Structure 1
Amino acid sequence: MSDAAQPSAAEVRAAAEAVKAALDRHLDAVERRSGEGDPAVYAAFNELAAAAEVYDELLYDAYDEVTPFEIPGDDNLPAYAGPEEPSALSVLIRRDYAIVEPQRLLSQAQRIAELDPDVETGNGRPGGPAAGESVHAALGVLFGEFEPDEIASRHKEFGLEEGDSTLWVTAADEPAEPGEWLAAPFDQADPQLVLCRFDVSSVFDEGLDEEDEDDLQVLEPGT
């Protein structure tokens, strides 16, 4: 890059101050949050991500230096191509789990089935194995009985270990008709319609010691 196109030291300093201010606003939103999914935390996270990206670019252009910051998800999304004023939205969530204690899972499913003999396994197959005899049936009972958010908060009770998770909020011009997408619910997951995205992964924690992990949490949405 030519000298004429390089940002000034004052511009870089101003961008750094903007990051500091965004950090303060994000931490304040986290400390005052009303619960999981607080929109004020999400908004502050997005402001912090934008400020950090500007600072990173200016720092590199001016001094050929980089920051240690990495904002999950942003690099993988194409430019937004959805409606300017969306009148509908879809929330797409993926959460991965490892089944680390199958016996705990089976026991929990059996307990649920004993409390409610009419509980559904969710597999749509009559005459299948009992809830406490098959991991397949146990998972059907578990996810049929509890909301996904409750499973996420209690995953250890069910013998599960959290993996990566992501949440996409996508825009639409109008709401879908009832039953329109149920046969193929994820076929319309168009990255160009994503309004915002929030990722959680252990890959972002690699190389951090326990003391640093507290600082990282400030940069994660909803935490």
Structure 2
Amino acid sequence: MSDAAQPTAAEVRTAAEAVKAALDRHLAAVERRSGEDDPAVYEAFNELAAAAEEYDELLYDRYDEVTPFEIPSGDDSLPPYTGPEEPNALSVLIRRDYAVVEPQRLLAQASRVVDLEAGPDLNTGGAGSGVHAALGVLFGEFEPDEIASRHKEFGLEEGDSTLWVSAADEPAEPGEWLEAPFDQADPQRVVCRFDVSAVFDDELDPDDDSVALEPLEDVEH
């Protein structure tokens, strides 16, 4: 955007004040809600979404900055929530994709964890060795969140990721879903969802090969 078309600092400040006012109206509507489908809450939600979107756009146009959140729009991919208003249990469903871009770095990190003389030889090839064995070592040693925060150290490149918080009536019985952990996921019981993907990064020019795509912070859908 050219300098002439940029919003003024005053316009950005006005948009920020509009978000604050919309937040207050939304909270007041929630506090006064008359039922699960109160139209006043729905209207206040849409007003907050519109104000936040306007502020985000002006903030980026003026200062080349973005907000750390995204309010879902009306065409969200999830269907309307039909779960309990006060869930007794929750399921947190997480998927993170990675590309193995530096196998030798992955092998080196795994070698630091295991005693190579007593453990598997990570460099001999075969189904139980090499990258296959290194992945088992690292994901067995480190928590998934630690691997996500240190993925470059392990020779991995982040792809898309998603986290769904799903409401349940009662906690599942021990061992009930371990064989097929995602088969019972019901999109209509998703309380909130957070996605990370390079497709959300409007700041980058997809035709510029000199810029590596990096995902944004978690955004709510």
* TM-score for both structures, normalised by structure 2: 0.59
Give 1:85's aligned residue.
86
Change (3 A) 1:147 1:56: closer
Per-residue Cα deviation, 1:189-208 (whole angstroms, up to 9, x for no partner): 11101001111111111344
Tell me: higher relative CO, structure 1 or 2? Use CA pairs within 8 A at least 6 residues apart: 1
* 1:199 aligned counterpart, secondary structure: strand
The unaligned stretches of length 5 or more in structure 2 are 1-13, 24-44, 54-65, 206-214
Per-residue Cα deviation, 1:68-100 (whole angstroms, up to 9, x for no partner): 999476611100011121100000111111111
Give 1:129's aligned residue.
128
Alpha-carbon shift at residue 116 of structure 1 (Å):
9.6
Change (3 A) 1:145 1:111: same
Structure 1 contact 96–163 (Cα < 8 Å) conserved: yes
Q: Does 1:111 align with 2:112?
A: yes
Question: Percent identical across equivalent pairs?
Answer: 70
Pairwise CA RMSD of aligned residues? 3.8
One-letter identity of the residue aligned with 1:164: D
Distance across 2 between alignment mates of 1:108 and 1:218: 26
One-letter identity of the residue aligned with 1:199: D
Distance across 1 between alignment mates of 2:107 and 2:51: 51
Distance across 1 between alignment mates of 2:46 and 2:153: 38
Q: Does 1:192 align with 2:188?
A: yes
Structure 1 contact 73–198 (Cα < 8 Å) conserved: no
Instruction: Give the 5 Å matches for 1:21-170.
Output: 51-55=47-51, 71=70, 75-114=76-115, 117=118, 129-130=128-129, 134-170=130-166
The unaligned stretches of length 5 or more in structure 1 are 1-13, 24-48, 58-67, 122-126, 210-215
- Number of residues paired by the alignment? 159
Per-residue Cα deviation, 1:157-196 (whole angstroms, up to 9, x for no partner): 1000111111110000000000000011000111101001
* TM-score for both structures, normalised by structure 1: 0.59
- Say which structure is richer in helix: 1
Distance across 1 between alignment mates of 2:117 and 2:78: 44
